[in-house]
Amino acid sequence: MDQRKLLRVLDGERVFPPPVWLMRQAGRYLPEYREVRAKAGGFLDLCYDPDLATEVTLQPIRRFGFDAAILFSDILVIPDALDRGLHFVTGEGPKLTPIREDEIGALEPGRAETHLAPVIATVGRLREELPPETTLIGFCGAPWTVATYMIAGHGTPDQAPARMFGYQHPEAMEKLLYILAEMSADYLIRQLTAGADCVQIFDSWAGVLDEASFEAYAIGPVKRMVDKVRAAVPNAKIIGFAKGAGPFLSTYREKTGVDAVGLDWGVPMDFAKGLQKGGAIQGNLDPLRLIAGGRALEEGVDRILEHLSDGPLIFNLGHGITPNAPIEHVEALLKRIRG
């Protein structure tokens, strides 16, 4: 039997207590992360330094003993490999050079192999240094979410620039998503080959799409990725996290081919239970409950375990842990889950 509980869940097995990890678990809520971050200089310098990226990935495993480690990187390394002027502004987040319709055909995906080589080196280092029972998760951004940043040049509340671009330039949008899907699939294949046990595709902005756009932008490109990854790495385990997708999740797993569906905190328990009949689900504690602690945290954890622990479940937050999450609340979360 595989020691790595998370992989057993991805195979459809019920494991109790469920394996647990937290999105953004290597991050600013940890003092040891902040020390390394200060040494690195820029955020991207940290992402592309195998020594430092390995260290910050391992920190939450040493401190908390999570069942999985997720590679420390960023979803925007793909547009960075495309030379889109990515940089991070303190207090404002990522900035890129907005892409025009007539520039899409000139993108150079071939740069990615060399550009992303340090990230792949980090994956290999992690598999060597992680405990044998700890699952290593690789990841990338979904084509739609990555495209929203490339089109607007920054994050926006409802990704209106990207949605409008898709309505006004459907062929250009299709081409951009195709390029990103191909590059992202190749990137995931390299992570899996280097030692990742499974991968997660983050579609953080899937929730702003209408039904037709969700089919075209969130499902189609991810299916292309899943098919390409599995052609190269048979039986590759893939988690799809389409944040805010709500009722569209009812067919997301079937249409994309992902093994598990990540859930944000807005997904009702009864709906989640229905999704679980088709295979593993992951989630979905409100990150604010982790900050609040006490009764709010306990009730949130208990509700998820009560409704979803009879099936294949990976316990996680409904989105990333925030910098103001108290360490003692993370410890209380794990104690509550593991009894």
Q: Which residues are catalytic?
A: 24, 28, 37, 74, 149
Q: CA-CA distance, 128 to 11, in Å (whole number)?
A: 24
Q: CA-CA distance, 68 to 55, in Å (whole number)?
A: 15
Residue type, 168: Q
295 CB neighbour count, 10 Å cutoff: 9
Residue 283 backbone zone (phi > 0: left; psi -120 to 50: alpha; other: beta): left
Residue of 302, 303, 309 whose CA lies nearest to 335: 302
DSSP state of 219: I
**238 beta partners:** 199
**267 beta partners:** none
DSSP state of 136: E
Q: CA-CA distance, 36 to 72, in Å (whole number)?
A: 13
Q: CA-CA distance, 257 to 278, in Å (whole number)?
A: 11
Task: Please give the structure tokens belonging to residue 216.
Answer: 């075209």
Please tell me the number of Cα atoms within 13 Å of 190 on its side-chain side: 18
Q: CA-CA distance, 48 to 80, in Å (whole number)?
A: 11
Q: CA-CA distance, 236 to 229, in Å (whole number)?
A: 7
Q: CA-CA distance, 195 to 242, in Å (whole number)?
A: 25
